[in-house]
Chain A
Amino acid sequence: MPLIEAKNLSKSYGAIRAVRSVSFTVDRGEVVGFLGPNGAGKSTTMKMLTGHLRADEGASVIAGFDVADQAVQAKQHLGYSPEGAPAYGEMTVREFLRFAADLRGLANPAESVRQTLELCRLNEVAAQTIDTLSKGYRMRVGFAQAVIHDPEVLILDEPTDGLDPNQKFEVRRILKEMAARKAVIVSTHILEEVGELCTRVIVIAKGEVRCDESRDKFLARGSDLNAVFRQLTA
């Protein structure tokens, strides 16, 4: 059974058809790079997958649970970091993670918070309010709340956006550590990330899937990935 299933997802905003019948599945152990120009429908697709947006048509299934009909079960298996890593700015990092742990009903929330702070290297800012953090730390906090319950499914919308090279390296390191046990979707427009992080690539443009193939096949399309990307999304 695939851990993530998108079945003919479609969404329109008024007259604009943002996502048109997008389908794919992701299995355990796969890290899918979700590529596409801005406005291609990446975030909209992710929002439908995670149950934040209701799809006009189609369905999304997380760990065997339909996100519309069995929302709570589906969401228990899901970790999601939205674009820009929103968080309650007035809380400290530790308070925020504790809230996430409690809201998920984790059996041992204090221990989960401790381990997550460790994993995401957030210990030194644990007592700071999130509003006072640098962008790099904020992104890590967003990542931390998504993995605190060790979910089977991880969906990250531009988790490395705006990070410096060291911070990007750090996020990729953590992701790689846990990827084998999970199904992961990472949206990005940084093409270099594909080779370093992903096992598979889905390119989306104008709300449609333009290519869905293994990393190696994608990299073999040409040495200039930017040109490949332009051609696929034209």
Chain B
Amino acid sequence: MSSSEKSSSPGLKPFMAMVRREFAGYFRTPLAYVFLAVFNAFAVSLAFFVGGLYESGIASLDRFFLYHPWLWAFLAPAAGARLWAEERRQGTIELLLTWPITVWQAALGKFLAAWLFLACALLMTVPVALTVGWLGDPDWGVIIAGYAGSLLCAGACLGIAAIASALTRSQVIAFVTGFLACFVLVLVGYGVFDELLAGLLGSAGVDEVRRFGLWRNLEPFTLGLVDVRPIAYFLSVAFAGLGLSTIIVERR
């Protein structure tokens, strides 16, 4: 503990420590396993029982990805609720903010860890793809694009969840507000909601608003179209959420 032992240029070490702790944090409680189980159960049963993946007779996963905006809208806020709310509740935010790491580094570390956790949940659904591959002859490029799109969609929902979590010390409130905000983005682009909006904004306005729907941006991926615009959309929502949550924590 002598002063000479102090590292002069810690580099990425503090940041990586942050990512490791946050990621491991998910698995310290049973919640992570419940989360992974719920995600898988819903992802698979929605695709097969609601989407009719099997009956369709088509070797494609578009009916599987169709429900991912709904899944992420619900589960990304569930995973993201703890990001800052838990720090506030335990009082550890006071430690974090007096340790030699910038709020931005801490926020990015937390965000990446949470995103990685969501990626794990997504990765566990690979057997669905394998099943389709066993039953038929799918286009694997399209399936990989679908997975990439879904992961980006998860990041966008997580960005929103991060804002909700930065605003409160209650994980429940963080989850509910995060879910409601994501839910709106899911609804944008669905028929009934569009009609409602058309009454307010006119049809031209609805077309504009529809661009911001989660499914509208995820759909091209599930068809194998990797376009810049949806990628930019998901990443902007994710980073806007990350940035805003950082500002909220900094200004407290």
Chain A residues in the interface with B (C-beta under 8 A) = 47, 50-52, 71-73, 75-76, 78, 80, 82, 84, 86-91, 99-100, 102-108, 111-112, 115-116, 119, 145, 147-150
In the assembled complex, the Cα of A107 lies from the Cα of B5 at a distance in Å of 6
By a CB distance below 8 angstroms, the chain A residues around B51 are: none
B7 touching A71 by the CB < 8 A rule?
A: no
Closest to A77 in B: B100
| Chain A nearest CB, measured from B252 CB (Å) | 8
A90-B29, A107-B7 given. 11 additional CB < 8 A pairs?
A52-B98, A76-B100, A78-B98, A102-B20, A103-B14, A105-B7, A111-B5, A116-B1, A147-B1, A148-B1, A150-B6
17 CB-based A-B contacts, threshold 8 Å: A47-B94, A51-B97, A51-B98, A75-B98, A82-B91, A82-B94, A86-B90, A89-B90, A90-B28, A91-B21, A102-B16, A103-B100, A105-B7, A105-B14, A105-B100, A106-B5, A111-B5
Counting from the closest, the 8 A-B pairs by CB-CB distance are A105-B10, A86-B91, A102-B17, A75-B100, A150-B1, A107-B7, A82-B94, A90-B28
The reply to whether the CB of B92 lies closer than 8 angstroms to some CB of chain A is: yes
The answer to whether B126 has its CB under 8 Å from any CB of chain A is: no
- Asked whether A90 and B98 contact (CB < 8 A) given A82-B91, A103-B18, the answer is no
Inter-chain contacts of B100 with A (CB < 8 A): 71-73, 75-76, 103-105
B222–chain A nearest beta-carbon distance, Å = 38
Which of B3, B5, B9, B18 is the most central at the interface, judged by chain A CB atoms within 10 Å of its CB?
A: B5
The answer to whether A102 and B14 have CB atoms under 8 Å apart is yes
The answer to the question of B99 belonging to the interface, with a C-beta cut-off of 8 Å to chain A, is: yes
Count residues of B near A (Cβ-Cβ below 8 Å): 30
Interface residues of B in 14-50 (CB under 8 A from A): 14, 16-18, 20-21, 25, 28-29
Closest to B96 in A: A103
Does the CB pair B94–A87 fall under 8 Å? no
Q: A90-B28, A105-B10 are in contact. Are A150 and B3 (CB under 8 A)?
A: yes
Q: Assess whether A72 is in contact with B101, with CB atoms less than 8 Å apart.
A: yes
- Is B99 within 8 A of A104, CB to CB? yes
Q: Chain B residues with Cβ under 8 A from A147's Cβ?
A: 1
> Bound complex: CA of A52 vs CA of B98, how far in Å?
6
- Measured between beta carbons, the chain B residues less than 8 angstroms from A102 are 13-14, 16-17, 20
Q: Is the CB of A105 within 8 A of B11?
A: yes
Q: How far is the CA of A24 from the CA of B135 in the complex (A)?
A: 76
Which chain B residue lies CB-closest to A111? B5
Chain B residue numbers with a CB within 8 Å of A84 are 91
Tell me which residues across on chain B come within 8 A of A73, comparing CB atoms. 100
B102 in the interface (beta carbon within 8 A): yes
B94 adjacent to A86 (CB under 8 Å)? yes
Q: How far is the CA of A88 from the CA of B29 in the complex (A)?
A: 13
Chain A's nearest CB lies how many Å from the CB of B238?
24
* Minimum C-beta distance from A94 to chain B (A): 13
Check if A99 sits within 8 Å of B17, measured CB to CB: yes
> Which residues of B sit under 8 angstroms from A107, Cβ to Cβ?
5-7
A52: which B residues are within 8 A, CB to CB? 94, 97-98
Beta-carbon contact of B6 and A106 below 8 Å:
yes
Contact B90 A88 (CB under 8 A): yes
Could you tell me if B97 and A104 are in contact, using CB atoms closer than 8 angstroms?
no
Considering only CB atoms, which chain A residue lies closest to B10 in the complex? A105
